[in-house]
């Protein structure tokens, strides 16, 4: 538009200059034409200057509102810059999400440059290697993590197998290194203490189980040898056979308990909607306990509770039988044994076996549920114990979300109780008052 006006003006000036006019009029026309052209030039120059200033300034201010081609140019540049800025923001956001994801990983991630200096690390890596996430950046890792096994692993450069490293605080780490880029390395660290502990427990368990099986097996071998090589009278022979049967039973009990544990470990989670009658279960364990005690103890039973419990009935049966069998086996003849059933205020049910036996010293209490842990090994074995009973009970309790409570003191008897969760307890309709009425007064206060 402005260019057209300028051309028009120039054309007028040209026509005027060609026309036979007075010289002054021609000069005036030329001067005014020149002034207009100069004005237009100055205007364009000013616009260009504003555009330049905006381009030099940080790109947070919007483009100057100039008209004409400079304005158009400014608008296009601004759009281009906006596009770049948006792309950069998206990439920044992506990077920050990526770093947050690595940060959230339980595994340590640490980047080393070609000089083995720490370029970046996440918090788990800082914890694993006891490093400071900021202060130790750009430090040579071997100056900070000085365990010889780690230093030589890094220097050998053979990373096909991960490095197992034990930290000063006893934690076990598994470290994997992957080279990348130009001499850089990615270090991944994982705290495998739990795995190591489980592995150590598994090794102990296998060793203990083998030992437990080998003992009766060796005894059986000895008896077989006696039968073959010694001239035994019929009564001596019967005696040896009875001892052999005892050892065979011991092995059988052990294998049964091992299989029960294996089944519990691999079994599906007990259902919360399969209900069974507690009274019927108590009737069954009562008959078994009476047979095992054979009149040697005074047994007390709870009144009918009318409760229904949810879970796997055979497992609760096994847990109660184990607790009652322990009470019977460890309580001297003439002692008292009681099965208690009490509903708690929170709706959970306490199922407990209390005995007037020898009781257990406090130092043993935390370890009683460990596999093969016995306070007195000989006493346990003599009475047919496998050392796995309470481990089985604890497992069953855990699977049902129940708690195993043990209260005992030497000379004061013992109480082994399961607190069956409220979620798995309901009134079967025929509930009667629950409590300790059936127990003698001395027992209620114990
Ligand atoms: P065991 O087959 O040896 O009885 P358990 O796991 O059932 O194995 O019990 C572990 C140990 O706890 C027993 O060896 C015994 O020393 C102790 N114990 C368990 N129940 C009682 C109890 N009612 N009175 C005294 N000691 C008990």
Task: Let me know: does 346 contact 422? Beta carbons within 8 Å.
Answer: yes
Q: What pLDDT is attached to residue 193?
A: 95
Q: Is 319 in the pocket of ligand 1 (CB under 6 A)?
A: no
- Which atom of ligand 1 approaches the CA of 388 most closely? 6
Task: Let me know: does 397 contact 418? Beta carbons within 8 Å.
Answer: yes
State pTM to two decimals.
0.69
Mean pLDDT by 10 residues, the chain (446 residues): 61 65 74 86 86 78 77 85 92 93 92 96 95 94 94 94 92 96 95 94 92 92 93 92 94 94 91 96 97 97 96 97 97 97 95 97 96 89 90 97 97 97 87 44 37
User: What is the Cα–Cα distance from 171 to 329, expressed in whole angstroms?
Assistant: 41
- Which atom of ligand 1 approaches the CA of 357 most closely? 24
User: What is the Cα–Cα distance from 132 to 141, expressed in whole angstroms?
Assistant: 12
User: What is the Cα–Cα distance from 142 to 123, expressed in whole angstroms?
Assistant: 19
Going by CA atoms, what residue is nearest to atom 18 of ligand 1? 326
Q: Is 375 in the pocket of ligand 1 (CB under 6 A)?
A: yes
| Best probe residue, ligand 1, of 390, 394, 415, 417 (max atoms within 8 Å of C-beta) | 390
Q: Is 321 in the pocket of ligand 1 (CB under 6 A)?
A: no
**Dihedral angle sign, alpha carbons of residues 374, 377, 382, 386:** positive
- Which atom of ligand 1 approaches the CA of 386 most closely? 2
Q: What pLDDT is attached to residue 440?
A: 40
Report the DSSP beta bridge partners of residue 308. Answer: 277, 426
Q: Is 387 in the pocket of ligand 1 (CB under 6 A)?
A: yes
Q: What pLDDT is attached to residue 6?
A: 64
Span from the CA of 416 to the centroid of ligand 1 (angstroms):
10
- Which atom of ligand 1 approaches the CA of 391 most closely? 6
Task: Let me know: does 278 contact 307? Beta carbons within 8 Å.
Answer: yes
Q: Is 338 in the pocket of ligand 1 (CB under 6 A)?
A: no
Q: Is 357 in the pocket of ligand 1 (CB under 6 A)?
A: yes
Q: Is 414 in the pocket of ligand 1 (CB under 6 A)?
A: yes
Task: Let me know: does 248 contact 216? Beta carbons within 8 Å.
Answer: yes
Span from the CA of 135 to the centroid of ligand 1 (angstroms):
55
Q: Is 380 in the pocket of ligand 1 (CB under 6 A)?
A: yes
3-class DSSP state of 436: coil
| Best probe residue, ligand 1, of 330, 356, 406 (max atoms within 8 Å of C-beta) | 330
- Which atom of ligand 1 approaches the CA of 413 most closely? 24
CA 262 to chain centre: 22
């Amino acid at each position: 538009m402005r260019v057209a006006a300028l051309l028009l003006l120039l054309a007028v000036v040209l026509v005027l200059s060609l026309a036979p006019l007075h010289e002054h009029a021609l000069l005036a026309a030329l001067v005014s034409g020149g002034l207009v052209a100069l004005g237009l030039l100055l205007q364009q120059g000013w616009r260009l200057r504003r555009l330049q200033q905006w381009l030099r300034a940080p790109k947070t201010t919007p483009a100057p509102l100039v008209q004409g081609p400079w304005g158009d140019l400014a608008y296009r540049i601004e759009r281009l810059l906006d596009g770049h800025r948006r792309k950069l923001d998206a990439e920044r956001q992506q990077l920050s999400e990526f770093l947050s994801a690595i940060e959230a990983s339980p595994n340590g991630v640490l980047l080393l440059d070609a000089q083995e200096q720490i370029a970046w690390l996440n918090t788990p890596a800082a914890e694993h290697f006891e490093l400071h996430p900021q202060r130790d950046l750009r430090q040579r890792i071997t100056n900070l993590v000085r365990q010889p096994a780690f230093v030589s692993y890094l220097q050998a450069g053979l990373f096909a197998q991960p490095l197992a490293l034990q930290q000063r605080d006893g934690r076990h780490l598994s470290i994997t290194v992957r080279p990348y880029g130009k001499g850089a390395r990615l270090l991944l660290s994982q705290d495998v203490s739990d795995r190591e502990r489980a592995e150590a427990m598994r090794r102990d368990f296998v060793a203990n189980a083998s030992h437990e099986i080998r003992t009766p097996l060796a005894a059986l071998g000895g008896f077989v040898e006696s039968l073959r090589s010694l001239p035994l009278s019929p009564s001596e022979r019967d005696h040896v056979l009875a001892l052999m049967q005892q050892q065979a039973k011991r092995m059988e009990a052990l294998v049964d308990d091992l299989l029960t544990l294996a089944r519990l470990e691999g079994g599906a989670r007990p259902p919360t909607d399969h209900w069974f009658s507690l009274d019927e279960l108590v009737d069954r364990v009562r008959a078994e306990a009476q047979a095992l005690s054979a009149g040697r103890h005074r047994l007390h039973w709870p009144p009918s509770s009318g409760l229904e419990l949810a879970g796997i009935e055979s497992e609760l049966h096994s847990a109660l039988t184990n607790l009652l069998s322990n009470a019977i086996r460890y309580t001297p003849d003439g002692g008292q044994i009681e099965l208690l059933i009490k509903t708690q205020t929170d709706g959970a049910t306490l199922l407990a076996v209390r005995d007037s036996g020898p009781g257990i010293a406090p130092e043993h209490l935390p370890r009683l549920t460990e596999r093969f842990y016995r306070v007195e090994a000989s006493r346990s074995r003599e009475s047919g114990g496998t050392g796995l009973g309470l481990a089985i009970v604890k497992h069953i309790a855990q699977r049902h979300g129940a708690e195993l409570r043990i209260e005992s003191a030497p000379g004061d008897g013992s109480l082994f109780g399961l607190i069956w969760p409220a979620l798995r307890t309901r009134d079967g309709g025929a509930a009667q008052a629950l409590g300790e009425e059936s127990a003698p007064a001395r027992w209620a206060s114990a």
